[in-house]
Amino acid sequence: MAQPAGEGVRVAVDTKNYDKARYQTIYPQYIDASLGPSEGRRLTKKQSVETPTMEEMVVGLHELGYRDFFVERAKSLPAMQGTDRYPLVPRGRVKVAIKEPLDKHYIKKSEFDTQTRGAVVAGIESKQELLRRLATAIKAKGTARPEVPSVATILASVPGVNQPKTKGK
């Protein structure tokens, strides 16, 4: 079941049986400045945040005006499961309803408007825009960024462990 995420946040969603088309998935790696685009980052380094946490993401979504979202702490980005970048695979994702449900009436803005659903929060029409605003909200908080040690750093700190050999050039 979903974890309580904060005051006023609706988390009473059955995470096994929910309308999957209604929710967008956001992993912390999407806005992580320490990762590259091939590792999951979806924003530029300048727009991204250094090692965002799930708690910061939940608070940021709440501040942006989203109420219909839930957290799945046991899930992880599939691309991170086979990497040795982290000693432990970063876990957690947020499912957010960015658009209104299909059954809610949508008024077209012009005859060329092909959308069928309106945005839940005015001004945030897409997942990309949500990621930008979420990263900005986290940066505005200005909390101290946690430093994640690499596998090599952990191995170097343990006495008696042979270090991996590297090829010399």
Please give the pLDDT value at position 153. Answer: 77
CATH superfamily of 23-104+112-142: Signal recognition particle, SRP19-like subunit (3.30.56.30)
Per DSSP, the three-state class of 19 is coil
Q: Is the pLDDT of residue 77 over 60?
A: yes
Identity of the highest mean pLDDT range in 15-19, 65-69, 101-105, 139-143: 65-69
The whole-angstrom separation of Cα 3 and Cα 29 is 20
Helices 54-64 & 127-141 angle (0-180, nearest 10): 110
Q: Over the stretch 79-107, which tens digit does the pLDDT of each residue have? A: 888 777 777 778 899 999 998 876 777 77
Domain ranges in the chain?
23-104+112-142
Please give the pLDDT value at position 5. Answer: 43
Q: Is 123 left (phi over 0), alpha (psi -120 to 50) or beta?
A: left
E-assigned strand segments in the chain: 24-26, 69-72, 93-96
User: Residue 71 — very low, low, confident or very high, per pLDDT cuts 50/70/90?
Assistant: very high
